[in-house]
A and B are shown apart, each in its own frame.
Chain A
Amino acid sequence: SQTIHQWPATLVQPVGSPLSLECTVEGTSNPNLYWYRQAAGRGLQLLFYSVGIGQISSEVPQNLSASRPQDRQFILSSKKLLLSDSGFYLCAWSIWGAINTEAFFGQGTRLTVV
C-alpha cells in the first residue's frame, strides 16, 4: 500500500534562517506531488505541485521554493524565513495521469518562525 511521510512534525526557526521540509511517498511510482499551506480560516493554499522529476509549478509568488530531486521525494525550502512563513505545511500526492484521483495527505509540519 502507498504511504506518505513528512517531516519534521514541528519546527521552530528564527527569522532569516533557512528551511527544508521533506516529503517522501512509498508504494507508487511517478506520483503528482503537492505542497499546501494551511492557515486558519483560509483553507489550504496550493504552493507548488510537480508532475515529474525536476518539474515544479508554482501557484503563488512567495519566499519559498520546491524541488523534486527524485521520483518520490518533494522538498520545500527557503533561504531566509520570514515571520509570515509560519503555518501548517502539508504534502500530498495523487496518481499521475489519472482523470479520477484523490489527494492523499501527509501528517503535516507545524512551522513557527520566531
Chain B
Amino acid sequence: AQSVSQHNHHVILSEAASLELGCNYSYGGTVNLFWYVQYPGQHLQLLLKYFSGDPLVKGIKGFEAEFIKSKFSFNLRKPSVQWSDTAEYFCAVNAQDNYGQNFVFGPGTRLSVLP
C-alpha cells in the first residue's frame, strides 16, 4: 500500500522568499504524483501532477515540482511566494497498476506568507 509523508506541518515565510515543501512516498511500483492546494474557505484544487516523462513539472501560479525516483520524493517549489499563496498544500500519490483508483494523501503542510 502507498503512503505519503510531508516534511513540514507549518511553514511561515515572508513575501518574496523561496519555498520548498518536501514530500516522500513509499510504494514499489509506478506512481502518479500530485500536489493539491486548499486556499482558506475553498475546495481542493490541483496545483500540478506528474504521470511520466520530464521529472520537472510546472503547475499553476508559478509552482513546480521535481520527481526524484531514487529518493521517492516529489518536492514542491516556488522561487518567490506571495501573500496569496497562504494555503494548505497536500501531496498525493496513486498507483498506476491499480488504474489510479486509490489516491493517498499526505498530512498536509500549512503555508503562511507574511506580507
The residues of A with any CB-CB pair to B shorter than 8 Å are 32, 34, 36, 41-44, 46, 49, 51, 90, 92, 94-108
Chain B residues closer than 8 Å to A107, beta-carbon distance: 43
Over the window 88-100 of chain B, the binary record of Cβ atoms lying under 8 Å from chain A Cβ atoms (1 yes, 0 no) is 0010101010011
9 nearest interchain CB pairs? A43-B107, A44-B105, A105-B44, A100-B51, A101-B100, A107-B43, A99-B96, A43-B105, A43-B108
Considering residues B51, B96, B99, B104, which has the most beta carbons from chain A within 10 angstroms of its beta carbon?
B99
**Which range holds the interface residue count of chain B?**
20 to 34
Instruction: Check if A98 sits within 8 Å of B90, measured CB to CB.
Output: no
Chain A residues closer than 8 Å to B92, beta-carbon distance: 44, 103
In the assembled complex, B106 has its CB within 8 A of some CB on chain A: yes
Instruction: Check if B106 sits within 8 Å of A100, measured CB to CB.
Output: no
A-B contact count (CB 8 A): 65
Q: How far is the CA of A101 from the CA of B49 in the complex (A)?
A: 9
Chain B residues closer than 8 Å to A97, beta-carbon distance: 99
A43 nearest in chain B by CB position: B107
Instruction: Check if A98 sits within 8 Å of B46, measured CB to CB.
Output: no
- Assuming A90-B43, A90-B44, A95-B100, what are 13 further A-B pairs, CB within 8 angstroms? A41-B107, A43-B6, A44-B92, A94-B103, A96-B99, A97-B99, A100-B32, A101-B32, A101-B100, A102-B32, A103-B92, A105-B45, A108-B43
The residues of B with any CB-CB pair to A shorter than 8 Å are 4, 6, 9, 32, 34, 36, 43-46, 49, 51-52, 90, 92, 94, 96, 99-108
Instruction: Check if A46 sits within 8 Å of B90, measured CB to CB.
Output: no
Instruction: Check if B43 sits within 8 Å of A46, measured CB to CB.
Output: no
Which one of A90, A99, A106 lies within 8 Å of B99 (CB-CB)?
A99
Q: How far is the CA of A100 from the CA of B106 in the complex (A)?
A: 19
**A44-B90, A90-B44 as given contacts; A32 in contact with B101, CB under 8 Å:** yes
Considering residues A94, A97, A106, which has the most beta carbons from chain B within 10 angstroms of its beta carbon?
A94
A98 nearest in chain B by CB position: B100
A-B contact pairs, 29 of them (CB 8 A): A32-B100, A34-B103, A41-B9, A43-B6, A43-B106, A43-B107, A43-B108, A46-B103, A49-B102, A90-B43, A90-B44, A92-B44, A92-B103, A97-B99, A98-B100, A99-B96, A100-B32, A100-B51, A100-B96, A101-B32, A102-B32, A102-B34, A102-B49, A103-B103, A104-B46, A105-B36, A105-B43, A105-B45, A107-B43
